[in-house]
Structure 1
């Protein structure tokens, strides 16, 4: 398995009261989709959150978050996070809130 199932469980638990959540295996990791739009996920060595361009500065201020450069190219509106950031309740909550705010405003797919 390319990702830590314990980290996936942390995200699952954080999303239990959020409607429209589905899981999809992608890029060797696991993505959580909200109404068909990518919200967050886990991969080998950490995870990611889709926070949107307007929230990127706030997200990058969270310790353990950095611009997401999945293929060596920065993906606008996404942050990559360390394992430590994912297991820290406060940091995960801030990033999840930013991601839900952004993705929740998108039209469902």
Structure 2
């Protein structure tokens, strides 16, 4: 199954609002049957099938898991540490999407 290209385009559009030093350091790579966005080579967010995939720092996992349409990333049938999926209902608005993009970038920034 192909990934949600419309969601990918929404992410690309949102990245233009970040400072140039951040937006220019973001690359894309096909992974997990979808597409991921990396900041300086560190995975931040992605689109897997119809879901947004987000890396989240450990300190924010419990709080984030309480949000609507969020579930653990279980790509291997077992939850993967510091990864979540967000379904369509959790990213209906650009503000909601922006929240998760920033969350993923926060994780990537801790890894560079």
TM-score by length of 2: 0.85
- Pairwise CA RMSD: 1.5
Runs (4+) off by over 6 Å: none
Structure 1 position 2, deviation (Å)? 0.9
Q: What SS does structure 2 have at the residue aligned with 1:91?
A: helix
Instruction: Provide the rounded CA distance (Å) in 1 between the counterparts of 2:67 and 2:51.
Output: 14
Q: What SS does structure 2 have at the residue aligned with 1:74?
A: coil
Equivalent residue pairs, number = 107
Matches within 5 A, 1:1-109: 2-16=2-16, 17=18, 18-107=23-112
Which residues of structure 2 form unaligned runs of 5+?
Answer: none
TM-score by length of 1: 0.87
Q: What SS does structure 1 have at the residue aligned with 2:96?
A: helix
Instruction: Provide the rounded CA distance (Å) in 1 between the counterparts of 2:79 and 2:15.
Output: 26
Which residues of structure 1 form unaligned runs of 5+?
Answer: none
Structure 1 position 30, deviation (Å)? 0.4
> Which deviates more from structure 2 when the two are superposed, residues 83-92 or residues 71-80?
83-92
Question: Is the Cα–Cα contact under 8 Å of residues 63 and 91 in structure 1 kept in the other structure?
Answer: no
